[in-house]
Amino acid sequence: SEAPVLYDVSNSVATITLNRPKALNSLTTEARVELLDALRRAASDESARVVVLTGEGRGFCVGQDLREHAEQLASGGSGSTLSTVAEHYNPIAREIARMPKPVVARLNGVTAGAGLSIAMLADFRVAVESATFTTAFAGIGLSCDTGASWSLQRLVGPAHARELLFDATPIKADRALELGLVNTVVADDQLDATVDALVARLAAGPTAAYAAMREALMFASTHSLDESLDFEEPRMMATGATEDHSRAVTSFLAKEKPTFEGR
Ligand code: T3D
């Protein structure tokens, strides 16, 4: 059978594709391990300047595979199955959060549970209009994981975060857009063109600056203005020392379009 997670790099874009379309790309243990590997690979892959997370078929990802989960509950009890949060889901969340390059969630369809949590840690979410979204956890009596408690309220605010966590009824893409859960909603046949244009722009951008922005935004989300100023300063020094920066300043003054090489 085909690998549950595919990894491909072209035009400086690493694409990680969840590849269990019949189960809407729900995550088995094998898929979680492979997703984590793919994320680590993308982080250190010097040929990749942008990372795209997407799914095959009509689902992006519907979180934990509940068939596998039911088998594990039946054989080992809840303690052993939920160790996957520490073993897989948390490392997956941290790997996305720390990715030293922009991450784009290409939401090709249904997005639920840990699948939504994963998407919420990306920098950009582009969704098709047929996609539906649910935190799903409450529907099966679980709390939340993969950073949803952190990311959801930052995206949609505390009141809507509560609605979306306590009520697992799926919402449609237009509502997700209205809430700020996704950045962009496009007609299903426009997904490729929209994502391709976005990632081409990001791949041609100042990769080192993007990495520093990601760190600074993450830091600032839990620190004071004073602390954030101190955190920004060495990153401005570091990006100020890149070739991308000096070349772009020269280009600006020459009224030319800058080219960024990512260093
Ligand atoms: O220890 C731990 O594992 C803790 C970790 C937890 C992390 C989590 O992610 S918990 C949340 C798990 N996810 C869910 O609870 C979502 C369950 N799915 C749904 O609520 C619905 O399927 C959706 C709202 C996502 C989509 O609805 P719809 O109507 O578009 O599709 P559907 O007909 O329900 O599903 C299509 C097929 O996918 C169906 O299989 P079938 O009947 O065609 O053979 C369905 O069973 C399967 N499927 C959907 N979600 C899952 C799944 N199979 C396995 N696991 C799933 N999560």
Q: Which of 169, 185, 108 has the alpha carbon at shortest distance from 135?
A: 169
Q: What is the pLDDT of residue 79?
A: 55
- pTM for the structure as a whole: 0.97
Task: Tell me the per-residue pLDDT of 198-254, one tens digit each, with 9 for 90 and over.
Answer: 999 999 999 999 999 999 999 999 999 999 999 999 999 999 999 999 999 999 999
Going from the first residue of the chain to its last (263 residues), give the mean pLDDT of each consecutive group of 10, the final group possibly shorter.
93 98 97 98 98 98 96 75 89 98 98 98 98 98 97 98 98 98 98 98 98 98 98 98 98 97 92
Q: How far is the CA of 204 from the centre of ligand 1 (A)?
A: 37
ipTM associated with this complex: 0.97
Instruction: Give the residue whose CA is nearest to atom 18 of ligand 1.
Output: 62
Query: How close is the Cα of 229 to the center of ligand 1, in Å?
Result: 43
Burial bucket for residue 117 (CB in 10 Å: 0-12, 13-18, 19+) = buried
CA of 59 to the centre of ligand 1 (A): 10
Q: Which atom of ligand 1 is nearest to the CA of 82?
A: 1
Q: Ligand 1, closest atom to CA 170?
A: 24
Q: Which of 18, 20, 22, 24 to mutate to test the pocket of ligand 1 (most atoms within 8 A of CB)?
A: 24
The set of residues, in sequence order, having a beta carbon less than 8 Å from that of 172 and lying 6+ positions away, is: 132, 133
Look up the CATH number of domain 5-203: 3.90.226.10
- The residue whose CA is least distant from atom 26 of ligand 1 is 110
Mutate to test the pocket of ligand 1, among 26, 58, 62 (most ligand atoms within 8 A of CB): 62
- Beta strand 171-172 with 184-186 is unpaired
